[in-house]
């Protein structure tokens, strides 16, 4: 995303800081790249937990990208954005290990295919009167994400039915009067593209071996796992080898089943990571003195914090940082720690997954400069919160023709208090 400093400064005066800025051109480019991988029985879904903004969901719907939802309200948001309910094959898939809040009710009312990650969910569906088709999420025994805390497969992952228990789970589905029409697994992107390729190939082979016990199977999801390079946006993984791999997986699965099997992929991060930045304002630059251990730092204090973008504080994620001088002046560079406004020592954007400060070589900002955190579209606004009773920052949309729209306003105190009950309600217990 190319940023015009003068326009960015003008926009900050209009909407205030911090704010999220989405680039329509970048998002559509990523959608087109994923669409290039599909066709001929290969379908892409968007894991909408990465970014559930209605504007983004409507871009997915127009491009023919289906949805993977993980809550009842995500299903309803997808429907609000134009996805179809009760469609066969299902354009909305509900994936979870536990039914929470309104999820079960929404599945029943809207005709959504449940992708169950725990065998006990079969009985819950049956008790609720559900007798339709199901998908089963499998833990294949291998796979992991970009950090250890993001394991999506293997013994330390909470997700899915353990592969050795799959046959027994299939019997429970059949005994409940349901059919398994889809199998799903998500082995994560891993640290290397080669590992992703190997794991996807291995996963397809394991699925092919399972097909004889699923006579009604229509589709197999190989999950997400297409990584985004946060450290160098210009160096992304080659997608053509994945296109070839997905086609071979579909051929292998269809041959094993003796009929056409739909193969699905389910990126979340890859679609949206590069399409959004978080823009904050520098309040002050201050320094601590170096102690006998050589500890000391120069801090750029900004008005954005982990209440907005939690990924660096949660698991040491890296985001590129750009300083936009408010006066257009040049700035000398030195190691800078970028810290937010929250009453938390961990409210720091420049740190690693061991929770250590990692100063970034940056132009030394001045009060009033803007600071841009790049590649914030995936799990940015989606994971933001109201901690410290701070309203979530507004979302702004930059269209390809240069026009700018506000797509969500800054939250007010009234928004934060809306769910609270002014007069306590007796529950009669």
Catalytic residues: 343
- Listed residue (244, 142, 260) closest to 211, CA to CA: 260
Q: How far apart are CA 236 and CA 218, in angstroms?
A: 32
How large is the angle between the packed helices 24-35 and 54-62, nearest 10 degrees? 40
SS3 217: coil
DSSP state of 397: E
Residues 268 and 48 sit within 8 Å (Cβ to Cβ): yes
Q: For residues 22 and 52, what is the distance between their CA atoms, to the nearest angstrom?
A: 13
**Beta strands 179-184 and 298-302: pairing type?**
unpaired
- DSSP 3-state assignment of 301? strand
Phi, psi of 183 (to 5 degrees): -120, 145
Look up residue 55 and give its two tokens.
Answer: 């504007």
DSSP state of 418: T
Q: Is 249 exposed, middle or buried (0-12, 13-18, 19+ CB in 10 A)?
A: buried
Using CA atoms, how far apart are residues 361 and 364, in angstroms rounded to an integer? 9
Q: How many CB atoms lie within 10 A of CB 99?
A: 22
Q: How far apart are the first and last CA of the chain?
A: 56
């Amino acid at each position: 995303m190319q940023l015009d400093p003068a326009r960015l400064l003008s926009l900050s005066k209009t909407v205030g800081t911090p704010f999220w800025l989405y680039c329509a051109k970048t998002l559509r480019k990523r959608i087109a790249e994923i669409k290039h991988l599909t066709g001929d029985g290969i379908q892409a879904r968007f894991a909408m937990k990465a970014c559930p903004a209605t504007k983004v969901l409507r871009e997915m719907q127009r491009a023919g990208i289906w949805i993977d939802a993980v809550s009842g309200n995500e299903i309803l948001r997808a429907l609000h954005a134009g996805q179809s309910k009760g469609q066969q094959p299902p354009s909305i898939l509900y994936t979870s290990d536990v039914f929470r809040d309104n999820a079960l009710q929404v599945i029943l009312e809207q005709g959504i295919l449940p992708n169950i990650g725990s065998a006990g969910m079969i009985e819950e569906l049956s008790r609720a009167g559900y007798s339709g088709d199901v998908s089963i999420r499998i833990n294949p025994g291998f796979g992991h994400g970009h950090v250890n805390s993001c394991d999506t497969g293997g013994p330390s992952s909470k997700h899915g039915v353990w592969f050795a228990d799959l046959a027994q789970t299939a019997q429970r589905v059949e005994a409940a009067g349901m059919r398994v029409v889809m199998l799903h697994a998500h082995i994560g992107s891993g640290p290397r593209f080669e590992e992703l390729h190997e794991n996807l190939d291995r996963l397809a082979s394991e699925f092919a071996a399972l097909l004889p016990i699923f006579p009604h199977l229509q589709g197999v999801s190989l999950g997400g796992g297409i990584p985004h390079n946060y450290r160098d946006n210009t160096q992304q993984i080659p997608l053509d080898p994945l296109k070839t791999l997905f086609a071979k997986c579909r051929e292998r699965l269809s041959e094993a089943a003796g009929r056409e099997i739909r193969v699905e992929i389910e990126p979340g991060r890859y679609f949206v990571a590069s399409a959004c930045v978080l823009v904050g304002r520098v309040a002050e630059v201050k320094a601590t003195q170096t102690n006998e251990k050589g500890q000391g730092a120069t801090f750029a204090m900004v008005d954005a914090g982990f209440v907005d973008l939690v990924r660096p504080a949660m698991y040491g994620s890296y985001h590129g940082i750009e300083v936009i001088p408010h006066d257009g002046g040049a700035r000398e560079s030195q190691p800078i720690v970028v810290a937010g406004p929250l009453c938390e020592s961990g409210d720091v954007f420049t740190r690693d997954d061991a929770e250590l400060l990692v100063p970034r070589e940056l132009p030394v900002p001045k009060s009033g400069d803007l600071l841009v955190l790049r590649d914030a579209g995936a799990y940015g606004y989606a994971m933001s919160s109201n901690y410290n009773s701070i309203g979530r920052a507004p979302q702004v949309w930059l269209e390809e023709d240069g026009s700018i729209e506000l797509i969500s306003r800054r939250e007010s105190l009234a928004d934060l208090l809306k769910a609270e009950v002014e007069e306590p309600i007796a529950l009669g217990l």
